[in-house]
């Protein structure tokens, strides 16, 4: 397998961050970082300044030394939460997969998109989503679950932004999407009606960690005709009950799904 050369600037930035762990120091000066990594002081300062601007480092104004930034804590918390969700949710996804023989996803909010953190594939059809891949909020079932319960200011930024048309069914009009999101909040579930791929549909529900706080969403996706049959056979209620069970197990939050 062909390999590509690592980018030196990224290697050096990672070395700066790892130095705090290696030395056990909570704070390091530019001089100390440069000395440990055999860098000249101006190179070290350039890397440190960039990491500080990105929130990965922060400076102590009293002694001018640097410490690890809150951005890293945020990233670590996200990774930890994703791991907890994957470990807890997977068996529930498998149950839905066995019941309907369709592809089941779990996705989490990631800025103005969703990222797929788990997937159980159907035997009947392959859906091209990959764990770790991101997708749009406005045209996916899991994305609309996240968007429907977003804080209003964040939701409006998405609605007034560039909502790509993926198929002729994609809702790109902000007013129409607001109406649909209101319906999603009222009904407790979202549909992707061939909005990202013609011939494929999806039903999704939010998973709450507290009142109106959507931490992830789960969905069942497949050929449109098969999803219609699943809907007639109780898919929405099964999804809602599964989401409620996940909320109880992972977040100790109970809510009514009737």
Measured distance CA(122)–CA(219) in Å, rounded: 13
Measured distance CA(74)–CA(91) in Å, rounded: 27
**What pLDDT is recorded for position 74?**
67
pLDDT band at residue 110, thresholds of 50, 70 and 90?
A: confident
CA distances (Å), origin 191, targets 148, 200, 241? 12, 11, 17
Measured distance CA(55)–CA(33) in Å, rounded: 18
- Domains plus CATH for the chain? 8-68 (1.10.10.10), 76-251 (3.30.450.40)
Q: Which helix (H) or strand (E) holds 199?
A: none
Q: How far from the centroid of its chain's Cα atoms is residue 14's Cα?
A: 24
Measured distance CA(168)–CA(256) in Å, rounded: 36
Q: What is the mean pLDDT of residues 234-245?
A: 97
Strands of the sheet with 103-110, listed across from one edge: 134-136, 113-120, 103-110, 213-223, 200-210, 190-193
Least confident of 73-77, 95-99, 236-240: 73-77
- Residue 128 reports pLDDT greater than 90: no
- Residue 254 reports pLDDT greater than 90: yes
pLDDT band at residue 107, thresholds of 50, 70 and 90?
A: very high
Q: Does residue 220 contact residue 241 with C-beta atoms inside 8 Å? A: no
**What pLDDT is recorded for position 258?**
73
pLDDT band at residue 3, thresholds of 50, 70 and 90?
A: low
pLDDT band at residue 133, thresholds of 50, 70 and 90?
A: confident
Question: What tens digit of pLDDT does each residue of 142-171 get?
Answer: 999 999 999 999 999 999 999 999 999 999
Q: What is the mean pLDDT of residues 58-86?
A: 82
Output the six-digit token pair for 210.
């507290």
Measured distance CA(207)–CA(193) in Å, rounded: 21
Residue-level length of the chain: 258
Question: What tens digit of pLDDT does each residue of 17-70 get?
Answer: 999 888 888 899 999 999 999 999 999 999 999 999 999 999 998 999 999 988
Most confident of 4-8, 121-125, 198-202: 198-202
**What pLDDT is recorded for position 58?**
93
- Residue 80 reports pLDDT greater than 80: no
Q: How deeply is 45 buried, as exposed, middle or buried, from its count of CB atoms within 10 A (0-12, 13-18, 19+)?
A: middle
**What pLDDT is recorded for position 77?**
65
- Residue 72 reports pLDDT greater than 90: no
């Amino acid at each position: 397998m062909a390999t590509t050369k690592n980018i030196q600037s990224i290697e050096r930035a990672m070395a700066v961050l790892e130095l705090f762990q290696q030395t056990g120091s909570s704070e390091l000066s530019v001089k100390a970082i440069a000395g440990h990594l055999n860098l000249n002081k101006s190179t070290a300062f350039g890397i440190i300044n960039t990491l500080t601007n990105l929130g990965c480092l922060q400076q102590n104004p009293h002694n001018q030394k640097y410490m690890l930034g809150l951005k890293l804590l945020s990233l670590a918390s996200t990774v930890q939460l994703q791991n907890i969700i994957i470990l807890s949710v997977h068996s529930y996804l498998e149950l839905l997969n066995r019941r309907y023989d369709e592809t089941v996803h779990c996705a989490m909010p990631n800025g103005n998109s969703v990222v797929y953190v788990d997937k159980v594939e159907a035997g009947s059809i392959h859906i091209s989503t990959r764990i770790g891949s991101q997708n749009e909020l406005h045209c996916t079932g899991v994305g609309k679950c996240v968007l429907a319960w977003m804080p209003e200011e964040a939701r409006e930024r998405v609605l007034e932004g560039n909502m790509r048309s993926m198929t002729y069914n994609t809702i790109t009009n902000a007013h129409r999407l607001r109406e649909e999101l209101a319906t999603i909040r009222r009904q407790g579930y979202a549909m992707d009606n061939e909005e990202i791929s013609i011939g494929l549909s999806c039903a999704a529900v939010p998973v709450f960690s507290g009142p109106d706080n959507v931490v992830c969403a789960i969905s069942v996706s497949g050929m449109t005709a098969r999803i219609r049959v699943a809907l007639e056979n109780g898919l929405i209620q099964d999804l809602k009950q599964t989401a409620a069970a996940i909320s109880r197990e992972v977040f100790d939050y109970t809510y009514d799904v009737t």
